[in-house]
Structure 1
């Protein structure tokens, strides 16, 4: 049974949630953090993923890749690439196979290239491993959230990355839609049953800013409008601060940190920390030791100065809000609530600006970092056959108009606008085409360039429909196509079949008001109907990886996992040997002193010294097998001495146990003797009382006799 889990793939950090224990839990990573850095690094012996990549980033900056969600499915010639390139410290190049983006890194002491889909798959494999270690469950099904502005190509690439990582992407969902689902499910008690509650969801993240307007009632959700700014987020604030101090250090310390990638990264990291400090304080120091050329730098920044630096960014806030409201056909005053999420929404100036635009107070009832992940986990649970969840229907907003094209042949039209912008999905449309056979092509394209982000390729997919055979004597045949914008936002042709006109018998029903004799035979009439003839074959060419390519990447990822595991196991064995050397040496002078002969101590001490010298010289980068052999060589003698020590300890325990049992037995005997003594005393006392009573009675009898005389 697969444990349903959802992943909020953040540009800076990723949050994992899973459905269990009658609720949604956030998964902590190996260092007990509730989020994991979205980073992949490469080293001479293995990869660094998540926390380890973050820890290695400063020293390994030229082989560390971040901002993974910004390049997945992005063509190398896309205008966004020129903007994104400055945020990377590794060389990015054109991927020859699909015109996408690859990162050049040094891995296993060789120059290698990995495309964006592979890089994301590596990271998702780490996320899967984290979830498995925490839940101990079978992790296969995943609901992954992506930015609302992702195109078909980017969504397909994200799904492929999941498959390379051994995961089944049951749904690719828009980030704010996932947050809205979480709101609708976990705050159902506050929602009306009949009327819709109008809620604006605002997400100010690390690299982008998104707004969605939703209509929510108990058990149901519709996204009415969505808008975004792809290049606005927390990292832009960090760069504004870093560039401010870089300019200051040029004049103050005569150094240019922008020329040194490591130095600028350290300034950028310090800028992010300063930004967070200024969210709660009005003034913050800025200090970095030996930032460059052994120069220590020191400065400070006030919240007021920060707001002046980012003023041009804050002026861009209104556009997505106004656009989303316009698409939803609502005014700010018609909204019932404004829910704000995203790490950058903690910045006071950001909160103030959003409230000014809406003209209403903001609501922070959702967890700003975890709301999307929890919504994803719930959606994944909805697709699980083994987990029961409260039913919740939701429909998403289609951002771009899509039309399907075909050869005209005998048709009046050669295309049809099937899924318009503003429509809700999942959605299905049935169309009928008259074809001559034996096969034909259908192509899906984005058809309104003004709606699209600049540089977006218009082509979506091409389907070849085969097994089209007109009936005998006919020049063409009707083909019914089931076109679908599926729950993940993918445009597909789900099925295709031919139909032909046949004469069939149809039961004649009595007219309204007429009575029919029960014994009368049923009457039929012959009518012409379109009846399914046969299923058509469908071959697709789309942005998704072909099966051979997918298998190739899966094999490569499996090989790298094995290499990482071997390195981790080798390091563990090395640490085990080092620990054993120091532990055994210490015990020989203490616990094991009286259990080893002088000759054994001398021999073992010599072996320990040799093993230590080897470990820090020739054996510093040895193999797993050699570490095991060295350990066993020492343990073969050490375990003999340890056995004597344990035997003595066991003897002491046995003696102690016997003493305890003897003491308990003696205590019990004394207790029983005392009890018997107490019982004897009671009997004596009772006897004395009885004698005294008899004496008193005798005395009374004597007195009575006297009086009677």
Structure 2
């Protein structure tokens, strides 16, 4: 089973996987560690990721970007209107949701932002599966902390349509904090003062600051603040507007009138921005930007900082807000960790460092920290991996209240209650109690709509409680509802049940004994019988049965999701057929060129003149067809043309292969004979050595016998003289 984390970014998406006792960032089909967050539509198939990036400039009206900022929103939302500056495809309303109208397979199609996210996640799933050589299902994905319930549900629906099971939808900075804390072995203990870290994440379109407290084995998010319209793309926009004005004066062209020209300038200023992060000056050179005019420009870092001064003036805003919400001061913070590509801008780093008055920390990979944190979270939630225990306490971003109709039987009843306050720990469960005689409905909504992004509808969901009736005595039924804000940050009323109050007797607890003083007599067992404990009657609630619930939320209903899954699978098959057809076409083209070369080369001696002329004529005819009407043929036609060529070339190729095989067998036979001769030589030498040893053996034994005889002969005794 795979354990995958996905940082679903506005500009790029990063995929990380837990393996080899750590976390690796995996590369896509062109070996890049980040995949462009783009989905394009063409006359034959879709283009996703790198493929969409490659054809973006020539297919602007059919390429959708920033879809993670569109999901779960409506077209009339002011935030979506801002996105029109950055999304080249036309945005439209689709049953209350924002979507894009594109030309796909030669006709106009409308896709919701949720569908487009699902298309992109399908590609991410395929990329991860190809790298891991395993099917991918379980993932943890990141999202901005300011996402509402509707936006979170849209991303979860998109994951399901793509065939993914999202174990957790985690806030960006929470994922970064998890990746930071889980690897630290020097965190303070439970009784010690926590380590306070501010995580500042400035990416392509978002700026988030979170205050997080760490103790051994846990993290707690204390506060989070954000600026939804602060990041790299706003720097790019300021630069494009600057050069548009310069080119209008200098070259008398208006790039704002030509979408492709403006896009080329956007690509150029992205490079300038990166160069100016490390240099004081950078050039801009674009050939044939429009009307065959080449343009040149130059920008200094000071000029860039002046152009983005309105943005720089807001640099410390989210940090100040986060510290205020956490009731902390800059000096209370131990570490300031910066992540996100935009934190490479020197002016931003200086402003943040001056605010805290201490060195900034860059121990995390700025582009990959979120994805790594997601992979760690997925490993924790997966039963496959053993991970160091580490609990994550996130927080509620917006207060949520429940409202309901007043009961006729309770005239002074309140009709609303804020159940989850901003700053509460998430995930969290609350039990709501109602006294009712009839079925009733309640609604969940955000208590302070002015805090929500753009003009988001504060409505979250409507929940109907069935099966409510008065009891046998005509009294109220006591209804208990379990409301849960889950790990995704999504609110649901998960279950309902009713209870009955019954009187039960229980012993009255004895008051605690006073502590004995020095000199008190020791306790002794009394032989007098103990008095029975005093009892009291108390009312206790006992669960008697479940209450059926029905819910209406921003999530897609199951039948809609099933239909979208079927449509997505159909588009996947169409994309695969197009890819296979293109592959077959390339195979045919390569085969023609290969045979044209070999028929006058290695195949020449294996074909008669008649065969050569037939094959050459066939190759010429099919080549002409390939570059004419065969340019847009079906896979079956390419296969048929390949078979036509093989019908003539097959016998020639077979003769060549037979000759090669014959030569190979001859070489093999020679090698075997040489090996056998070598083995025979070894055996002969071995026999000669054994024969030589045997010839020398008798002489040695004779000498040995003589020596033994001399040794064992009895000593001669000399006769004494007379």
**Structure 1 length normalisation: TM-score?**
0.92
Distance in 2, matches of 1:163 and 1:554, equals 8
Which residue does 2:552 correspond to in 1?
541
- The CA deviation string for residues 581-631 of structure 1, in whole angstroms up to 9 with x for no partner, is 111221212222222222221111111111111111111101111111111
RMSD: 2.8
Distance in 1, matches of 2:648 and 2:86, equals 56
Q: CA deviation at 1:405?
A: 1.2
Distance in 1, matches of 2:449 and 2:633, equals 59
The 1:255/1:678 distance shift into structure 2, 3 A limit, reads: same
The SS at the match of 2:30 is coil
Which residue does 2:422 correspond to in 1?
421
Distance in 2, matches of 1:599 and 1:142, equals 62
Distance in 1, matches of 2:444 and 2:492, equals 9
The SS at the match of 2:541 is strand
Gaps of 5+ in 1: 692-709
Q: CA deviation at 1:275?
A: 0.9
Q: Work out which of the residue numbers 284, 287, 295 in structure 2 matches 1:289.
A: 287
Distance in 2, matches of 1:472 and 1:660, equals 100
Greater displacement, 673-682 / 584-593: 673-682
Which residue does 1:412 correspond to in 2?
413
Residues 30-45 of structure 1: matches in 2 within 5 Å? Answer: 30-45=29-44
Residues 20-31 of structure 1: matches in 2 within 5 Å? Answer: 20-31=19-30
Gaps of 5+ in 2: 514-524, 703-722
The 1:687/1:270 distance shift into structure 2, 3 A limit, reads: farther
Q: Work out which of the residue numbers 120, 124, 132 in structure 2 matches 1:123.
A: 120
The SS at the match of 1:190 is coil
Which residue does 2:479 correspond to in 1?
479
The SS at the match of 2:360 is coil
Residues 46-445 of structure 1: matches in 2 within 5 Å? Answer: 46-95=45-94, 97=95, 99-186=96-183, 188-194=184-190, 195=192, 196-409=194-407, 410=410, 412-437=413-438, 439-445=439-445
1:613 paired with 2:624, answer yes
Distance in 1, matches of 2:300 and 2:399, equals 46
- The CA deviation string for residues 399-427 of structure 1, in whole angstroms up to 9 with x for no partner, is 11111111221263112111111111111
Q: CA deviation at 1:523?
A: 12
Greater displacement, 292-301 / 405-414: 405-414
Distance in 1, matches of 2:392 and 2:91, equals 39
Q: CA deviation at 1:106?
A: 0.8
Residues 557-596 of structure 1: matches in 2 within 5 Å? Answer: 557-596=568-607
Greater displacement, 284-293 / 651-660: 651-660
The SS at the match of 1:619 is helix
Which residue does 2:521 correspond to in 1?
none
1:463 paired with 2:460, answer no
1:492 paired with 2:492, answer yes
Greater displacement, 459-468 / 83-92: 83-92
Q: CA deviation at 1:674?
A: 5.6
User: 1:198–1:214: 8 Å Cα contact kept in structure 2?
Assistant: yes
Q: CA deviation at 1:381?
A: 2.0
Greater displacement, 381-390 / 76-85: 381-390
The SS at the match of 1:461 is strand
**Structure 2 length normalisation: TM-score?**
0.90
Distance in 1, matches of 2:258 and 2:527, equals 95
Which residue does 2:709 correspond to in 1?
none
The SS at the match of 2:385 is coil
User: 2:614–2:648: 8 Å Cα contact kept in structure 1?
Assistant: no
Greater displacement, 309-318 / 613-622: 309-318
Distance in 1, matches of 2:353 and 2:432, equals 46
User: 1:318–1:357: 8 Å Cα contact kept in structure 2?
Assistant: yes
User: 1:15–1:373: 8 Å Cα contact kept in structure 2?
Assistant: yes
The 1:140/1:686 distance shift into structure 2, 3 A limit, reads: closer
- The CA deviation string for residues 63-87 of structure 1, in whole angstroms up to 9 with x for no partner, is 1111111211112121212222111
Distance in 1, matches of 2:455 and 2:29, equals 40
The SS at the match of 1:113 is strand
User: 1:510–1:516: 8 Å Cα contact kept in structure 2?
Assistant: no
Distance in 2, matches of 1:138 and 1:517, equals 75
Greater displacement, 407-416 / 499-508: 499-508
The SS at the match of 1:53 is helix
User: 2:168–2:487: 8 Å Cα contact kept in structure 1?
Assistant: yes
Q: CA deviation at 1:357?
A: 1.8
Distance in 2, matches of 1:553 and 1:251, equals 50
The SS at the match of 1:480 is strand
Greater displacement, 586-595 / 416-425: 586-595
The SS at the match of 1:11 is coil
Which residue does 1:696 correspond to in 2?
none
Distance in 2, matches of 1:191 and 1:32, equals 36
Greater displacement, 319-328 / 410-419: 410-419
Q: CA deviation at 1:559?
A: 1.5
The SS at the match of 2:85 is helix
Distance in 2, matches of 1:669 and 1:28, equals 56
